[in-house]
Amino acid sequence: MAEAEIDKISELPDDVLLDILGRLVVTAGDVHAVARTSILSRRWRSLPWPQITGVSLDVSKFFIPSDEWQRVRRRRRRRRRAWEQDQRHARAAFTDALARFLEAPASKRVIEKLSLKFFLRRRDDLRRIGDLVGAAATGGVVKSVELKIVVTEMERVAPELEEQTKLGNGERFGHFLHDCPGAFRSITKLTLKDLWFHDAAELNSNLLRGCCNLQFLSLSSCGIFYPKTLPNADEPSRPPALTVDAPESRLEFLQCDLCDIGGVELVQAPALSGFSYHAKVIEDSAPISFGCTPSLKCLSLGHCQGEDTFVKLKLSELLVNGGGQLEYLRLSFMNGKIWLQTERPKQLRAAIGRLKYLTLTNIPPECNLSSAMFLLEAAPFLETLDIKICNHICIDSWHEKDEENASPAWQWQPSPSFRHHHLKQFSLSRAFHVEKDLSFARMVMGLAVNLQAVTLRVKSLGCPRCIDTLPKYPELARSRSRFTEGSGYVDGFMKELMDGITSAKMTLHLADLV
C-alpha cells in the first residue's frame, strides 16, 4: 500500500478505524493481520480499544497460504517434515499474536469473550498460552474464555495406534489442566476431540469441578480408559460411564458425540439445561441416568449401533427422573435403525408430558411414520413437530429395505377420541418420493385441531457424494424433478393433501427444490 494511501486511512475517525479493526480482530483469528498493518502501528494506542469486546484466534489462520505452501513443499524432500515445520510455525505465530494482543496496549480494555482454537502439542507451548490467558483473566482483561483444542487428525494415525494416540492426547491435556489452573478457572466453553482420560474420576474432579465457570462442554470421540479384558472373565469388559457429579458446577450444556463410554450418569448437574448424547455403543442397560437435573429443558439422543449389537429402548425408561420438565426433545436414528420402542401414551406422558418441540431426524426412508403418533398423543402440549427423513443415497444401506421399520407391528393407531389442541407447526422433509408422506400428513392435520402451518419439503441433497450418485437412480431423480416441471403436479399434490380437510387458519407450504 502506498504511503499516501496509508496516511488517508490513518486520518479516518476513531469510530471508523475501530470498526475496521474490530472486523479484522473478531473474524476468526485475523489478529496476526491486524498486528502487521501500518494503521495499527500508527494509531494503536490512540484507538478506543475498550469497545472491542470479542476476540477470536484460530491457529489454522496462521498456516502458510496454500499457494505458498505448494512452493515450500516442492523445495522440501519430505512432505511430513514440511508439514511439521509448517505446524510449528503456525503454533508460534498464534502464540505471539495472542501475547501481543493481550499485553498491549495498556488500557482499561475488557474483553467479554476470548475464543481460541489451537493445537494440543508441546507442553511448553501450552503453558505459555495458559499463562497468558490466566494472567489476562486474573487482571480483569478477559471475562470469559472459549477453548477449542485440536489434536492430530486420526486419519493420519494407524488403526492399531488409535488408542495409544488418544491416551497421549489425554495425558497432554491433563498436564495443560494441571499447569494452568488460572486459565481454566476462566473457561466458559471447552471443545475436546479424540482424547481419552485415564479414569472417570479425573474427568469429573479435575475438569467438571475444577473449571468453576465452565458452562459448555463438548466431547467428541473422547473416552475413558478401560482394559478390554479382565482376568478370569468370560466376557470383555465394558467402558466406564461418564459421571457428572458437580453440585457447584455452572455447566449449562453437555455434548457427548460418539464417545467410548458406557453411558452418562447425571448425578448432580443443577445448572444443566441442555444435554446431547449420541452413543457409539449401547449395552443392555439404559445409556443415561438422571439425578439432580432440575434445569434440564433440552435433550438430544441418538445411537448408531450395528446389527450385532442393536438394542431397542423405551423412552419412558430412559427419562426416568429426568424427563418431566423437558420442553425440547430431538431423537436421531442412525444406520437405518429405529431404536425406539412403541409405548402406550399414558406410560410415556410422565416423561414428555410438558414437551413443546419434538424433532425426529435420520428416519429410514421406508419407515411407517404412523409409529410417531404415540409420541404425539403422549405430549399434549406439543407445539412443533419436525420430521426429517434420511436422504443419503451415497450409503449402501440406504437402499436396503428393513421390513421391521415398515411392518404393521410398528404402526400406532391413536384412540378414537384423541385430538391434539396445541400443535401449531408441522414440517416433514425428505429428498425423494415426498408423496409417501401424504397419508401421514393428512392424519396429523386431522388430529391437530389448531394446526396453523404445514410444511412438506423436498429437501436439498447437500452431500456432494449423493449428488454424484443420483444419476445412477433415475427413478429417485424423477421423484424430485417432477416438482419443477410446471404447476400441474404440484397443484394435484396439494389438492390430494387437502381433500376433505378445511381450516381457515392453516397455511400450507410445499418448499421448492433448493
Query: Which residues, in sequence order, are bridge partners of residue 116?
Result: 57, 147
Does residue 249 have a pLDDT over 50? yes
Other C-beta atoms closer than 10 Å to the C-beta of 235 total: 7
Sign of CA dihedral 126, 131, 132, 136: positive
SS3 186: coil
Residue 249 to residue 209: CA distance in whole angstroms: 6
Residue 243 to residue 441: CA distance in whole angstroms: 41
Q: Cβ contacts of residue 331 below 8 Å, gap of 6+?
A: 300, 301, 302, 340, 358, 359, 360, 361
Do residues 362 and 335 lie in contact, with contact meaning Cβ atoms separated by under 8 Å?
A: no
Instruction: Supply the pLDDT for residue 336.
Output: 67
Residue 147 to residue 97: CA distance in whole angstroms: 16
What is the SS3 assignment for 187-233?
EEEEEEECCEECCHHHHHHHHHHCCCCCCEEEEECCEECCCCCCCCC
- For residues 365-382, average pLDDT: 89
Q: Are strands 288-292 and 274-279 parallel, antiparallel or unpaired?
A: unpaired
For residue 223, the number of C-alpha atoms closer than 13 Å in the C-beta half-sphere is 23
Mean pLDDT is lowest, of 41-45, 179-183, 280-284, for 41-45
Tell how many helices (H) and how many strands (E) occur in the chain: 18, 19
Q: How far is CA 403 from CA 155, 367, 396, in A?
A: 35, 9, 16
Do residues 514 and 460 lie in contact, with contact meaning Cβ atoms separated by under 8 Å?
A: yes
Predicted confidence band at 111 (pLDDT cuts at 50, 70, 90)? confident
- For residues 432-438, average pLDDT: 85
Sign of CA dihedral 135, 137, 141, 142: positive
Instruction: Supply the pLDDT for residue 483.
Output: 74
- For residues 306-315, average pLDDT: 71
Instruction: Supply the pLDDT for residue 171.
Output: 94
Does residue 300 have a pLDDT over 70? yes
Residue 213 to residue 142: CA distance in whole angstroms: 13
For residues 264-303, b (16+ Cβ closer than 10 Å) or e, as one string? bbbebbbbbbbbbbbbbbbeeebbbbbebbeebbbbbbbb
Instruction: Supply the pLDDT for residue 234.
Output: 61
Strand order of the sheet with strand 242-245?
A: 242-245, 264-268, 288-292
DSSP state of 262: S
Phi, psi of 33 (to 5 degrees): -75, -40
Q: Is the peptide bond before 471 cis (omega within 30 degrees of 0)?
A: no
What is the SS3 assignment for 354-402?
CCCEEEEEEECCCCCHHHHHHHHHHCCCCCEEEEEECCCCCCHHHHCCC
Does residue 218 have a pLDDT over 90? yes
Cell 444401506, located at residue: 397
* Rounded (10°) angle between helices 79-103 and 66-75: 130
Cell 505446524, located at residue: 87
Q: If 0-12 CB within 10 Å is exposed, 13-18 middle and 19+ buried, where does residue 472 land? A: exposed
Can you read off the three cell numbers belonging to residue 75?
523445495
Instruction: Supply the pLDDT for residue 408.
Output: 43
Mean pLDDT is lowest, of 16-30, 374-388, 406-420, 458-472, for 16-30
Does residue 229 have a pLDDT over 70? no
Q: What average pLDDT is seen over the chain?
A: 80
Mean pLDDT is lowest, of 140-149, 222-231, 338-347, 436-445, for 222-231
The shares of helix, strand and coil residues in the chain, as percent rounded to the nearest 5, are 40, 20, 35
**Cα torsion through 301, 304, 305, 311, rounded to 10:** 30
Task: Spell out the domain ranges in the chain.
Answer: 326-514
- For residues 79-95, average pLDDT: 76
Do residues 334 and 364 lie in contact, with contact meaning Cβ atoms separated by under 8 Å?
A: no
Q: Are strands 216-220 and 142-150 parallel, antiparallel or unpaired?
A: unpaired
SS3 340: strand
Can you read off the three cell numbers belonging to residue 286?
439404559
Instruction: Supply the pLDDT for residue 69.
Output: 45
Do residues 53 and 112 lie in contact, with contact meaning Cβ atoms separated by under 8 Å?
A: yes
Q: If 0-12 CB within 10 Å is exposed, 13-18 middle and 19+ buried, where does residue 492 land? A: exposed
Q: Where are the alpha helices (DSSP H) in 44-180?
A: 66-75, 79-103, 123-138, 162-179
Other C-beta atoms closer than 10 Å to the C-beta of 322 total: 21
Residue 361 to residue 334: CA distance in whole angstroms: 9
Q: What share of the chain has pLDDT > 70, as a percent?
A: 74
Identify which of 49-58, 271-280, 329-338, 409-418 has the greatest average pLDDT.
Answer: 271-280
Q: What share of the chain has pLDDT > 90, as a percent?
A: 32
